[in-house]
């Protein structure tokens, strides 16, 4: 049976917006010695915004590029997709409904807009569709969203993907609580990931990952004998949340899949809640020792 002290701890956590699905997870969170964070939507996505639209096609132009990309991204729940749609709206661009739409996991979207084939996402998405990605993003530190129209790379939309407030403080506090290793995993590119994580106190960054690669990265830490807590927003990281000893889902912008895959769910997107959960877990676990 779950010791009374743990039930009390779960109740206390719940009152502060931290839902823990059982006493076992309190123990595992108390014992975790590696904390793995997803980047987009977890450490970042503090209001991502389109900061620049670069068109490689003089016929298409910047506004038209953004209009087609926003149309393709209209039905996507990805935080970057929302930024693209918002970017078009704030520029007063009228965004049509796409004729067809498909979300390709961790890569982007594929849509038909006004008879044109539109791809919006990472370089892998374009390359796999046979589109040559022969230009590198100019603005390092921005998240590049590549746009292809009718089989050619038409431009790049740059999105400011800034850290959530309290990200650095949360990582420092986790280390003070005995976490040995902090890792950031991302489907984004390495240059952007490094720029965003500078001064964050992250020990390791792995970029250009697919959902299965995130699972493999966690398995690798576990093989080294580390007990892993994974924090994600669930857009592409539900399998990783399930693989870790403790999966923690962000609230607010988090998805249903994340809430289901997670052992601990935060009701808000406040990274400080992870530190609070860890402290509650350690205190209650120490009491029963
Ligand atoms: P992270 O692992 O950091 O949470 P994701 O795996 O969710 O990042 O996204 C990785 C990359 O996929 C983004 O940098 C972006 O280029 C691309 N991407 C995925 N879905 C979309 C979308 N709907 N719209 C635009 N870009 C997308
Ligand atoms: Mg994410």
Last residue of some domain: 145, 160, 175?
Answer: 160
Ligand sitting nearest the alpha carbon of 253: 2
Last residue of some domain: 160, 178, 199?
Answer: 160
pLDDT at 31 (0 to 100): 96
Ligand sitting nearest the alpha carbon of 143: 1
Q: Do 95 and 205 fall into the same domain?
A: no
Measured in whole angstroms, the distance separating CA 255 from the mean position of its chain's CA atoms is: 11
- Ligand 1 atom closest to the Cα of residue 76 is 23
Which segments of 16-130 does DSSP mark as H helices, in order?
23-31, 61-73, 79-90, 123-128
Mean of pLDDT values over 115-140 = 95
pLDDT at 229 (0 to 100): 98
Percent of the chain at pLDDT > 90 equals 81
pLDDT at 252 (0 to 100): 66
Q: Do 87 and 108 fall into the same domain?
A: yes
Q: Do 53 and 156 fall into the same domain?
A: yes
Decide: 245 in ligand 1 pocket, CB within 6 A. no
Residue 236 CA to residue 45 CA, distance in Å, equals 15
pLDDT at 254 (0 to 100): 59
pTM for this prediction: 0.90
Q: Do 34 and 173 fall into the same domain?
A: yes
Extract the tokens encoding 66: 């953004």
Residue 45 CA to residue 40 CA, distance in Å, equals 6
At residue 26, does pLDDT exceed 80? yes
Residues having C-beta closer than 5 Å to ion ligand 2 = 38, 40-41, 233, 235
Q: How many domains does the chain have?
A: 2
Domain that holds residue 27: 4-45+162-288
**Residue 153, domain CATH:** 3.40.1110.10
Measured in whole angstroms, the distance separating CA 221 from the mean position of its chain's CA atoms is: 20
Contacts for 114 with CB less than 8 Å, ≥ 6 apart: 68, 96, 99
**Residue 211, domain CATH:** 3.40.50.1000
At residue 119, does pLDDT exceed 90? yes
pLDDT at 41 (0 to 100): 87
Percent of the chain at pLDDT > 70 equals 98
For 143-170, what is each residue's pLDDT tens digit? Answer: 999 999 999 999 999 999 889 999 999 9
Confidence class of residue 261 from pLDDT cuts 50, 70 and 90?
A: confident
Mean of pLDDT values over 31-44 = 94
Q: Do 177 and 279 fall into the same domain?
A: yes
Helix (H) or strand (E) holding 265: strand 264-266
pLDDT at 1 (0 to 100): 64
Mean of pLDDT values over 51-79 = 95
For residues 88 and 237, the model is more confident at 88
Nearest CA owner, ligand 1 atom 26? 121
Decide: 80 in ligand 1 pocket, CB within 6 A. yes
Catalytic center residues:
38
Pocket test for ligand 1, best of 46, 128, 187 (most atoms within 8 A of CB): 187
Q: Do 244 and 275 fall into the same domain?
A: yes
For 184-196, what is each residue's pLDDT tens digit? Answer: 999 999 999 999 9
Extract the tokens encoding 234: 């669930």
pLDDT at 45 (0 to 100): 76
Last residue of some domain: 124, 141, 160?
Answer: 160
Contacts for 70 with CB less than 8 Å, ≥ 6 apart: 84, 85, 87, 88, 89, 93, 95
Confidence class of residue 259 from pLDDT cuts 50, 70 and 90?
A: confident
Decide: 145 in ligand 1 pocket, CB within 6 A. yes
- Give ipTM to 2 decimals: 0.94
Q: Do 60 and 94 fall into the same domain?
A: yes
Q: Do 126 and 188 fall into the same domain?
A: no
């Amino acid at each position: 049976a779950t010791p009374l002290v743990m039930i009390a701890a779960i109740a206390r956590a719940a009152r502060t917006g931290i839902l823990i699905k059982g006493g076992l997870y309190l123990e595992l969170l108390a014992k975790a010695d590696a904390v793995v964070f997803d980047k987009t939507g977890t450490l970042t996505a503090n209001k991502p915004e389109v900061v620049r639209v670069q068109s490689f096609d003089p016929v298409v132009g910047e506004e038209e590029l953004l209009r087609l990309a926003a149309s393709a991204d209209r039905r996507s729940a990805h935080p970057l997709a929302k930024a693209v749609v918002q970017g078009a709206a704030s520029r007063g661009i009228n965004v049509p409904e796409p004729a067809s739409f498909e979300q390709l996991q961790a890569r982007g979207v594929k849509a038909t807009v006004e008879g044109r084939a539109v791809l919006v996402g990472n370089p892998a998405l374009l390359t796999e569709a046979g589109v040559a990605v022969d230009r590198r993003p100019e603005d390092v530190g921005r998240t590049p969203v590549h746009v292809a129209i009718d089989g050619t790379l038409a431009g790049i939309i740059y999105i400011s993907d800034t850290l959530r407030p309290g990200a650095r403080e949360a990582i420092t506090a986790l280390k003070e609580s005995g976490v040995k290793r902090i890792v950031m995993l991302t489907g984004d590119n390495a240059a952007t990931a490094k720029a965003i994580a500078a001064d964050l106190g992250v020990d390791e960054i792995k970029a250009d990952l697919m959902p299965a690669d995130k699972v493999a990265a966690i398995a690798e830490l576990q093989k080294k004998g580390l007990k892993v807590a994974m924090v994600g927003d669930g857009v592409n990281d539900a399998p990783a949340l399930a693989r870790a000893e403790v999966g923690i889902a962000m609230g607010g912008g988090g998805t249903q899949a994340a809430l289901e895959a997670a052992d601990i769910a935060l009701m808000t997107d406040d990274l400080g809640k992870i530190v609070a959960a860890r402290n509650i877990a350690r205190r209650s676990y120490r009491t029963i020792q």
